Structure 1
Amino acid sequence: MSIIFGVRKSEEDLVTEQDLLHLGHTTDRYALDGTSVHSRGRVGMGFQPYHTHERSRLECGPSSDNDTGNMLGFDGRLDNHKELCSLLNIAVPQASDSVIVLAAFARWGESCFARLTGDWALALWCHNDRALYLARDHAGSRTLYYEITKDTLLWTSHLETFFADTPSRTLDETYAAGYLACLPTGNLTPYRGIRSVPPAHYLRFRDDNLLCQPHWTWMVREQISYRSDVEYDEHFLSLFKQSIKRRTIPGAPVIAQLSGGVDSTAIVCVSDAIRREQGVCPEDLLDTISFYDDSEPTWDEKPYFMLVERQRGKVGHHVPASFLKHTYKPHEGTSGIYRLPGQDSYTIEAERDLYQLTEANGYRVVLSGIGGDEVLGGVPNALPELSDLLMCGDLRALCQRSFAWSLPTRKPLIRLIAETIAFTYETYRGDRMAETTAPPWLNPSQLTSLLNQGTNISDTRSLGLRPSAICNGATWWTILDTLPHLSFTLLPSCEYRYPYLDKDLVDFLFRIPRTQIIQPGRRRLLMRRALKGIVPSEVLERPRKAYLLRGPLSSLQHAEAPIRNLFRAPRIAGLGLVNLPNLNLALETLLKGADTCNFRSLTRAIALELWLRSIDNASGPIIAAA
């Protein structure tokens, strides 16, 4: 991903190029293709390109429209650039995406953001309205943060920019509580006052007013209905191929993750089918990377990804990824500071190994299968479908489908109907997840703060929507909170692309009947029908991959001594985030293997403690909120 950043000052102040270069200096190590800046009066923007496709080389820096005085910083890829050029009567050969966006805003104003299809984030200064717009695509595939201090608005796609003049920051305790509770952090960051622009939204800053508006709908009302399964299969396969083509356009070399699961394998095999239709030989197929852990009995992926490699006639990169390598000791900070939690002293070593592999082969793009499990029915849940039938009043169909689902789930019919009624009520009532999933050692005052403020913009409920549509929307935001490009790295990292999160593909999947996605005893129904003969049957029909627990738990038990030392006088207790006796009791139980129900939240506690200590070591303690 390229880096965009900028600043808007008060009417009386000017932004200089030196101001912008000073900000850009913080991310120099990621700016592999240079830095360019542009200022005009009170507004200035910077651009540090990371070229990943041919059209990205048309971007030469922050762009401006001489007719309107508007200025734009753009990072990303417009997949519908040809369509937009036609609508906007842009006849300039090889018009950059920035030129297209400026023309779109001049024509359609704020509504232009809904017309942009692709992976992108942008900052746009409207000269006539004296308004600044920050926006991210529907899936948030690019990061974008902002901070308002007095009369200054600072924005950037990289957290490091905020530390140009302020080495120490105040902890956002609501973020910390949500992180410890394993809840979506929404638009929060670990730092008070620094926020993330929500995916699928644009923010408008005008004078002292802030407007946040969605430009894409993640909970749909309209449904698509076809006469036959074949029509659904053909439409899905067409959109899936289009998504992969969009993310493998000419440019920097692309590498695809191949885990041996259905989602990553489908991306690789469909890409192979596309390229073979074009007459390419095996060596010109996508390169792949596969991570494996021989010590994890529930993650024996080698037989599956090696089977795929044999079928395609090309061996990929195999990378060992044992949980036992984690040290559970703080990162020392000699090579930089991680601005987000989730690392230990081993993380930088793993980063270096991956960076050497990608740098040696010129890779700048990674295709990830994240999202496929959620949008294509990998989770066998009957309740959204049954809830739809309940709300439309079709009691006969509700009883028939409940009986059909009761057989593979082995639930009594009455119990399943009762669960459907309760699920429907909770769906329209709203998200009360924090009340039921918060760990018992989280400080009650922090939980109260989390519930009062809320962090998830997806908490929009409407009686006019089907329950399954609301569930799709909630699932969508859960996916977006786990995307790997949101993690912080100290070395330049590849750009992630997510074929299953393609806007056109998701729009289709969220509009078709749920019975096309999943049936009693049959997950991924549509995917399995459409990809039969393309994906090896051994992978397409494999059982759902087990939740990884033995490896991570063994890793914790192996590092029992450093973990106990970590929690003798933990920073998270000193900051008032946790009840230390309750935390140590839960940790003791986990290390003995007696109770693993709090495993995930305890690993979050360890991660947050390690991160706070690494910051202490590198730049002084993070400041507790007053």
Structure 2
Amino acid sequence: MSILYGVLKEHGIAATASELQRLGADMQRYATGAGLVILDGRLGMGVQPYLSHMRSTFERGPVKSPQGRYVLSFDGRLDNYESLAEELRVKHPETLSDSQIALAAFARWGEACFSRFVGDWALALWSETDQSLYLSRDHAGARSLYYRHTQCETVWGTYLEAFHLTDDTLQLSHDYAACYMAGRQVGDLTPFEGIYSVPPAHFLKVHKGVLSRHQHWNSTVMTTVQYRTDTEYEEHFLALFRNSVERRSGPGEPILAQLSGGMDSTAIVCMSDFLRRRKYPNAEILDTVSFYDDSEASLNERPYFSITEARRGKVGAHVNTAFSQRTFEPHDGSGGVYLMPGADSFSIEQERRLHSAAWKRDYRSVLSGIGGDEVLGGVPDPLPELAGHLLSGNVSQLLRRSLAWSLVDRSPLVGMLWRTVRYTGGLYLNPGPKEIDLPPWLSQSLRERALRIESVKAMVPARIGIAPHRIDNSSAWWFVMETLPHLFPQLLVRPEYRYPFLDKDLVSFLFSVPREQILRPGRRRSLMRRALINIVPHEVLERRRKAFQLRAPLHAVQQASEVLEGLFANSMIADAGLVDGDKLRHSLRQTVEGDPKWWHLILRATAFELWLRSMRGGSGERAGDAGLRLIA
């Protein structure tokens, strides 16, 4: 991993060392060494090292091609560097950095090279040949990369700190506010007007001052893998999952694995143990950290992660993350501010506890199980499969599978068929957002923004001819992209997050197999359970789906009702015209009285209010005062 930053000025204007120094200044504390820069006319590129895996030690900052036609700064890991080198006829790839191989790939294939890369990466590349700048992220966006593009310059950075977001010239993005407080996907938006995230699976090209956006990987996977037996699917999955974990837990700096009581993180930890001990029974295995909430029995993961700890003979760090610890008061930003909503005054204390409990060995990377639920059938929804049978006209299969699911759900067959028809119609005929789904307190301006942005994403023509389960897979994929923890960086440390279930080869396979392999009536995660029967403890593998955590947030809101009433009585989001304060307080009272309809979006509004106050140093200043400007 590396920390990237840079600037491309308009023609006739040279980039300066002082500009690069300013861009990198606030990110240097997260690097593992001093950064290196390249200044070449109107281009300035900087890289600060973050050594995390064995091949990252080969990186030496921005690199130039031998003829000086291309300049590249690279963050991440190319898992297929050997096969790329073979295609490129590059000798001894084990002695070359991933930057050098990526640069050679661009020299050979141009823009098409990005689709060939397998791994977790982000990059900035300058082509002197056609005077174009490229910014790109891998298929899953496992590395962050932000940018600001104007007529005068394009600026980019791994972290939002590159843009000095505490300056009083910055303006709140009302598009982001609308999507965030409506509970919709924010996509490439950030809370700051004019600053965007490079989308996962895309590359941006800046040529002659014009920015264009291009896709290099499509989450709507159109290929189909068809085997004769279940065993063949299981073996293929197992091989790809093994390879994915091995890619992300190989030699390098210390790795910390998250271990919850669920199947996903447990599968990763157990597979890593298997890989490390298959040759050397006494080999060192990964350290783990487990989060728990024992305030309610249905939420407590401790009994399940303890089973795995006992089996592997190693107890990890345990951190209490009970929702009841939240204060619903703004974070004191005097020691640094959280640049994304979601933190309160307890967040930094939570970081300190985690740091004290788990960061004793200077871990550089964290293995996370995020994504497993979405790509492996964690949600037992039969409708995408049944809709496929309906559209294909396979009436016998539709009736047979609908009956099987009806028996599991204990629902009438007619009801299941009607739900399938409604789902199919909504998927193709009217997939756009509904006004009724928006919280009543959202201002008219933000309501219009949220509906407009969501409508663009749900265009009907883009869905015609695509099978329902493929649309569902793609929707689930982009939902996961919004939840990755590296997008909500901590203040004390910035570890490299690795997501084995988001591996490009693995996901492409899982999105290509028949739906009934992934999910079967009464048997969610069917493929995963069958394939990992000898890897994951039986108690975890056969565990019922983890409890949906509704009671804990509701109880926390009820306990903090007076604090929240006071917060919204003097609300910055109301003062800025983002919400109707009276309607927000009314909905809060309904939630406190036990109505769960808007609890999630009440928490979103709370988080946004607290974030704005934190950006203002914890005060409730009016919208026109110094600091982040709230009114366009």
Shorter-chain TM-score range: over 0.9
Query: What letter matches 1:318 in structure 2?
Result: H
Partner residue, 1:256: 257
CA distance in 2, matches of 1:585, 1:165: 33
Q: Which moved more, 1:159-168 or 1:24-33?
A: 159-168
1:468 matched to 2:474? no
Partner residue, 1:622: 628
Question: 1:120-139 CA deviation, whole Å, 9 max, x = no partner?
Answer: 00010010110000100000
Query: How far off is 1:359 after superposition?
Result: 3.9
1:450 matched to 2:456? no
CA distance in 2, matches of 1:21, 1:621: 23
Partner residue, 1:140: 141
Question: 1:56-81 CA deviation, whole Å, 9 max, x = no partner?
Answer: 11111111113142111110000001
CA distance in 2, matches of 1:612, 1:464: 44
Relative distance call for 1:35 and 1:165 in structure 2 (3 A) is farther
Q: Give yes or no for contact 1:184–1:456 (8 Å, CA) kept in 2.
A: no
Query: What letter matches 2:480 in structure 1?
Result: I
Q: Which moved more, 1:596-605 or 1:292-301?
A: 292-301
CA distance in 2, matches of 1:280, 1:560: 54
Question: 1:469-523 CA deviation, whole Å, 9 max, x = no partner?
Answer: 0110011000111111100322222111000000000000000000001111111
CA distance in 1, matches of 2:512, 2:363: 35
CA distance in 2, matches of 1:143, 1:97: 18
Partner residue, 2:233: 232
Question: 1:238-296 CA deviation, whole Å, 9 max, x = no partner?
Answer: 000000000011001111111111111111111111122121426x1111110111113
Query: What letter matches 1:543 in structure 2?
Result: R
Query: How far off is 1:164 after superposition?
Result: 7.2
Query: Secondary structure of the residue that 1:233 maps to in structure 2?
Result: helix
CA distance in 2, matches of 1:60, 1:457: 40
CA distance in 2, matches of 1:165, 1:327: 24
Query: What letter matches 1:321 in structure 2?
Result: T
Question: 1:403-435 CA deviation, whole Å, 9 max, x = no partner?
Answer: 111111122222211221221122223642454
CA distance in 2, matches of 1:97, 1:435: 48
CA distance in 1, matches of 2:107, 2:434: 43
Query: How far off is 1:561 after superposition?
Result: 2.7
Query: Secondary structure of the residue that 2:616 maps to in structure 1?
Result: helix
Query: Secondary structure of the residue that 2:75 maps to in structure 1?
Result: strand
CA distance in 1, matches of 2:319, 2:61: 37
CA distance in 1, matches of 2:171, 2:60: 36
Question: 1:345-393 CA deviation, whole Å, 9 max, x = no partner?
Answer: 1111111222344442121111111111111111010100011111111
CA distance in 1, matches of 2:368, 2:233: 24
Partner residue, 1:115: 116
1:309 matched to 2:325? no
Relative distance call for 1:302 and 1:387 in structure 2 (3 A) is same
Query: Secondary structure of the residue that 2:462 maps to in structure 1?
Result: coil
Query: What letter matches 1:21 in structure 2?
Result: Q
CA distance in 2, matches of 1:365, 1:518: 32
Matches within 5 A, 1:62-101: 62-92=62-92, 93-101=94-102
CA distance in 1, matches of 2:514, 2:151: 50
Query: What letter matches 2:157 in structure 1?
Result: T
Q: Give yes or no for contact 1:188–1:196 (8 Å, CA) kept in 2.
A: yes
Query: How far off is 1:18 after superposition?
Result: 2.5
CA distance in 1, matches of 2:436, 2:37: 48
CA distance in 1, matches of 2:585, 2:368: 37
CA distance in 1, matches of 2:357, 2:486: 18
Question: 1:5-28 CA deviation, whole Å, 9 max, x = no partner?
Answer: 100001111112232112111212
Query: Secondary structure of the residue that 1:195 maps to in structure 2?
Result: strand
Query: How far off is 1:167 after superposition?
Result: 4.2
Q: Which moved more, 1:286-295 or 1:412-421?
A: 412-421
CA distance in 2, matches of 1:18, 1:209: 26
Q: Which moved more, 1:163-172 or 1:124-133?
A: 163-172
Partner residue, 2:491: 490
CA distance in 1, matches of 2:30, 2:455: 30
Q: Give yes or no for contact 1:183–1:434 (8 Å, CA) kept in 2.
A: no
Partner residue, 2:391: 391
Matches within 5 A, 1:359-508: 359-429=359-429, 431-433=431-433, 435-454=435-454, 461-508=462-509
Query: How far off is 1:184 after superposition?
Result: 0.7
CA distance in 2, matches of 1:221, 1:464: 11
CA distance in 1, matches of 2:280, 2:374: 33
Partner residue, 1:16: 16
Query: What letter matches 1:203 in structure 2?
Result: L
Q: Which moved more, 1:25-34 or 1:301-310?
A: 25-34
Query: How far off is 1:556 after superposition?
Result: 2.4
Query: What letter matches 1:530 in structure 2?
Result: A
Query: What letter matches 1:438 in structure 2?
Result: L
CA distance in 2, matches of 1:237, 1:167: 52
Paired residues, number = 624
Q: Give yes or no for contact 2:432–2:458 (8 Å, CA) kept in 1.
A: no
Q: Give yes or no for contact 2:237–2:506 (8 Å, CA) kept in 1.
A: yes
CA distance in 2, matches of 1:212, 1:455: 19
Partner residue, 2:533: 532
Query: What letter matches 1:201 in structure 2?
Result: H
1:598 matched to 2:604? no
CA distance in 1, matches of 2:9, 2:304: 55
Partner residue, 1:567: 568
Matches within 5 A, 1:166-205: 166-205=167-206
Relative distance call for 1:303 and 1:165 in structure 2 (3 A) is closer
Relative distance call for 1:434 and 1:190 in structure 2 (3 A) is farther
State percent identity of aligned pairs: 48
Relative distance call for 1:436 and 1:498 in structure 2 (3 A) is farther
CA distance in 2, matches of 1:482, 1:248: 22
Query: Secondary structure of the residue that 1:567 maps to in structure 2?
Result: helix
Q: Give yes or no for contact 2:34–2:48 (8 Å, CA) kept in 1.
A: yes
Partner residue, 1:57: 57
Query: How far off is 1:615 after superposition?
Result: 1.1
Q: Which moved more, 1:429-438 or 1:361-370?
A: 429-438
Relative distance call for 1:360 and 1:242 in structure 2 (3 A) is same
Query: Secondary structure of the residue that 1:90 maps to in structure 2?
Result: coil
1:338 matched to 2:344? no
Query: How far off is 1:209 after superposition?
Result: 2.0
Q: Which moved more, 1:271-280 or 1:76-85?
A: 271-280
Relative distance call for 1:400 and 1:417 in structure 2 (3 A) is same
Partner residue, 1:126: 127
Partner residue, 1:35: 35
The CA RMSD measured in Å over matched residues stands at 1.7
Query: How far off is 1:527 after superposition?
Result: 0.7
CA distance in 2, matches of 1:296, 1:331: 27
Query: How far off is 1:584 after superposition?
Result: 0.5
Question: 1:134-183 CA deviation, whole Å, 9 max, x = no partner?
Answer: 10000000111111233111111110111179344111111101101111
TM-score, with normalisation over the residues of structure 2?
A: 0.96
CA distance in 2, matches of 1:71, 1:375: 36
Query: How far off is 1:188 after superposition?
Result: 0.5
Question: 1:599-618 CA deviation, whole Å, 9 max, x = no partner?
Answer: 11000000000010111127
